[in-house]
Amino acid sequence: DAKTTQPNSMESNEEEPVHLPCNHSTISGTDYIHWYRQLPSQGPEYVIHGLTSNVNNRMASLAIAEDRKSSTLILHRATLRDAAVYYCILRDQGAQKLVFGQGTRLTINP
């Protein structure tokens, strides 16, 4: 499985945008970039995924570099409820499993 690298922790303020980076220099052409987050004492939940183009949904945006070796999860206006561990995961189209790294622990200050 291709590896991803994320900062251990980040901090931001409520109602400000948050940019969570992820490096994946060994990504293959068939790897999709997935983001999940895990709120305290809960199971992970899906946030967003993409292959080559930038993606938007109701929770977040995903910006993918042109060479696909990095990506950024964007929370446009962070709330206290967005405090969680965010996992960037590469998933081959033929693979069933998700391989979780240690993720980025996001703290949101009021």
Given the rule CB under 8 A, which residues bind another protein?
34, 36, 41-46, 49, 87, 93-94, 96-103
**Is the CB of 63 or the CB of 105 nearer to another protein?**
105
Closest contact distance (angstroms) between CB of 77 and another protein is: 23
| Three-state secondary structure string covering 60-71 | CEEEECCCCCEE
Residue 18 CA from chain centroid, whole number: 11
Closest contact distance (angstroms) between CB of 96 and another protein is: 6
Q: How many CA atoms lie within 13 A of 3 on its CB side?
A: 2
Closest contact distance (angstroms) between CB of 20 and another protein is: 15
